């Protein structure tokens, strides 16, 4: 028996002006608990819009969207990781990780427990007293991830979180993210531009097509977890990367692929 | 000589050249006009004679500067919070703020004397008027210049308005506030001195530097007038140093204007 979907979109649509063209949808999607879903697509296909709709930052123009059976604005345990680390530069790492808990008035003892657990997960406990500017780009992103994990979310929304990092750091963080995912039960929606990253991380890949944004392909990634360095050399992995790349190229508008 | 010592030398060399130039300028003037530009020994003489009085006056002016300055800082923070709260409030109030800065002190002075009489309170009010504008403009700018990513983060976190203001906008505005404070620190002693000159009082024999300047120019004591200028200048430097020190304490650990490499 399949579990009920954690995230459920029915004919979800978004237009920014009342009379303007649809940016996204109508789009149907069901994501089960624990899935790691990557979203790929050319720019302008509404990837970030979809994430913002799920987060409740944007209100849909049409259709229905529920997270754990409730409208997204009401759900508390949903966390967002942005492309930039967006750490508050005037706070030390530990206080940064606590920021969102503080906004939600989590009692101090509980705040400390969750903070230390989250910093442990991203292996940055020893940097708790550092200021963000003393960290490398990869470390900052790990703090940002810890801040989201401290919410103990059921759904983790990641908007190109490793996009600004070098490839080595990026691969490394991907592996860490999977290791954390293996220990915790959250569901991930991961927006990325990198096909290789999407295949490596995900249990499922959505390829979006633009104008308006819609799901062109919904592909399962049947590579066994845990995945590691060897995964990146496995024939199945390489075949999937090639296949997803081809599908992505097919939905790119002609002028974009020529550029 | 070690390179470290060599690097510290230029300011001292320049100071020496400055003093030598000063002395040379005095001697370059025709003998009948030399009184207009006192020599260094004459200046030293003025300090010997009037040093105690000047120091006391400097203390008075320093108090007035700090008073007006602190008042301006407190009111500016409150006003900035109000101004940052909405575009409508900003558009409505801004002309009046500009007006406050544009009313010439020389016209406000006689009105103030009528209202509160000559003396320290008037001096503080004038100093306040002069330092308020850069403080409020910079602080408001700071409260509004918040990173969009941080705003999204706070919205995702369902932050209340007061949380956004207290935990995000206020700390983000600190560097801007200190920029305003630095400008105000330069203006405050000038303001207090001018105010003392215009609305000061000698009651109780406690006068500020403005009154001293008035006295010395009436008595035609030119070297003493120069000495007063030097003291006023030193006061300005002291206030700027105080503000820079405060800014360092608050900002150096996290703000990019204090990079770890050049500490």
pLDDT value of position B39: 93
Which residues of chain B have a CB within 8 Å of the CB of A134?
260
pLDDT value of position A242: 94
pLDDT value of position A215: 92
pLDDT value of position B105: 82
User: How many degrees, rounded to 5, is the angle at CA A124 between CA A199 and CA A122?
Assistant: 30
Kindly report the nearest CA distance between residue A78 and chain B, in angstroms.
9
Specify the CATH number for the domain of residue B116: 1.10.3720.10
Q: Is residue B84 part of a domain?
A: yes
CA separation, residue B29 to residues B16, B36, B42, B225 (Å): 21, 9, 15, 19
Q: Is residue B193 part of a domain?
A: yes
Q: Is residue B64 part of a domain?
A: yes
| Structural domain containing residue B85 | 40-250
Q: Is residue B124 part of a domain?
A: yes
Q: Is residue B198 part of a domain?
A: yes
Respond yes or no on whether ipTM tops 0.90. Answer: no
Q: Is residue B29 part of a domain?
A: no
* Number of domains forming the structure of chain B: 1
β-bridge pairing A62-67 and A214-220: unpaired
Could B157 and A100 be called an inter-chain contact, meaning their C-beta atoms sit closer than 8 Å? Answer: yes
pLDDT value of position A68: 86
pLDDT value of position B8: 85
Report helix angle B209-218 to B170-199, nearest 10. 30
φ and ψ at residue B143, rounded to 5 degrees: -65, -25
* Most B CBs within 10 Å, among A88, A143, A147, to test the B interface: A88
- The tens digit of pLDDT for each residue in A78-93 reads 899 998 999 999 999 9
- The tens digit of pLDDT for each residue in A43-65 reads 888 888 999 899 888 889 988 99
pLDDT value of position A254: 60
- Its pTM stands at 0.84
Higher pLDDT, A31 or A74: A31
Q: Is residue B17 part of a domain?
A: no
Q: Is residue B18 part of a domain?
A: no
β-bridge pairing A78-81 and A155-159: parallel
Could B168 and A88 be called an inter-chain contact, meaning their C-beta atoms sit closer than 8 Å? Answer: yes
């Amino acid at each position: 028996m399949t579990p009920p979907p954690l995230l459920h979109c029915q004919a979800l649509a978004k237009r920014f002006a009342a009379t303007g063209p649809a940016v996204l949808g109508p789009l149907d999607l069901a994501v089960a608990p624990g899935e790691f879903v990557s979203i790929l697509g050319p720019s302008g296909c509404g990837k970030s819009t979809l994430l913002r709709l799920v987060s409740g930052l944007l209100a849909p123009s049409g259709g229905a969207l529920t997270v754990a059976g409730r409208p997204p604005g009401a759900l508390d345990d949903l966390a967002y990781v942005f492309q930039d680390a967006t750490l508050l530069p005037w706070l030390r790492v530990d206080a940064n990780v606590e920021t969102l808990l503080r906004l939600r008035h989590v009692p101090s003892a509980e705040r400390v427990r969750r903070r230390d657990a989250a910093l442990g997960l991203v292996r940055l406990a020893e940097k708790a007293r550092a200021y963000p500017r003393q960290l490398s780009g990869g470390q900052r992103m790990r703090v940002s991830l810890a801040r989201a994990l401290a919410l103990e979310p059921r759904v983790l929304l990641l908007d190109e979180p490793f996009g600004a990092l070098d490839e080595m750091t990026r691969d490394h963080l991907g592996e860490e993210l999977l290791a954390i995912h293996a220990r915790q039960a959250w569901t991930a929606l991961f927006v990325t531009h990198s096909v290789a990253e999407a295949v490596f991380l995900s249990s499922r890949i959505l390829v979006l097509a633009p104008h308006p944004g819609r799901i062109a392909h919904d592909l399962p990634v049947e590579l066994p977890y845990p995945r590691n360095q060897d995964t990146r050399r496995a024939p199945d992995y390489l075949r999937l990367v090639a296949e997803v790349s081809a599908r992505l190229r097919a939905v790119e508008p002609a002028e974009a692929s020529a550029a | 000589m070690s390179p470290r010592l060599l690097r510290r030398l230029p300011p001292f060399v320049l100071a020496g050249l400055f003093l030598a130039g000063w002395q040379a300028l005095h001697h370059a003037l025709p003998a009948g006009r030399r009184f207009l530009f006192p020599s260094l020994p004459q200046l030293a003489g003025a300090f010997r004679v009037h040093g105690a009085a000047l120091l006391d006056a400097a203390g008075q002016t320093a108090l007035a500067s700090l008073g007006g300055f602190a008042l301006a800082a407190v009111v500016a923070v409150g006003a900035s919070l109000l101004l940052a709260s909405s575009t409508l409030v900003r558009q409505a109030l801004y002309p009046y703020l500009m007006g406050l800065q544009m009313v010439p002190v020389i016209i406000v002075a006689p009105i103030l004397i009528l209202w509160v009489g000559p003396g320290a309170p008037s001096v503080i009010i004038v100093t306040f008027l002069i330092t308020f504008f850069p403080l409020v403009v910079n602080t408001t700018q700071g409260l509004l210049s918040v990173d969009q990513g941080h705003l999204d983060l706070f919205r995702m976190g369902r932050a209340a308005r007061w949380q956004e203001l207290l935990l995000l906008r206020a700390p983000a505005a600190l560097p801007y506030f200190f920029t305003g404070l630095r400008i105000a620190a330069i203006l405050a002693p000038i303001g207090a001195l001018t105010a003392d000159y215009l609305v000061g009082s000698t009651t109780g024999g406690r006068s500020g530097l403005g009154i001293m300047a008035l006295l010395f120019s009436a008595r035609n004591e030119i070297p003493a007038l120069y000495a007063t200028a030097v003291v006023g200048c030193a006061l300005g430097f002291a206030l700027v140093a105080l503000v820079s020190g405060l800014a360092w304490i608050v900002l150096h650990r996290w703000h990019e204007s204090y990079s770890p490499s050049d500490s």
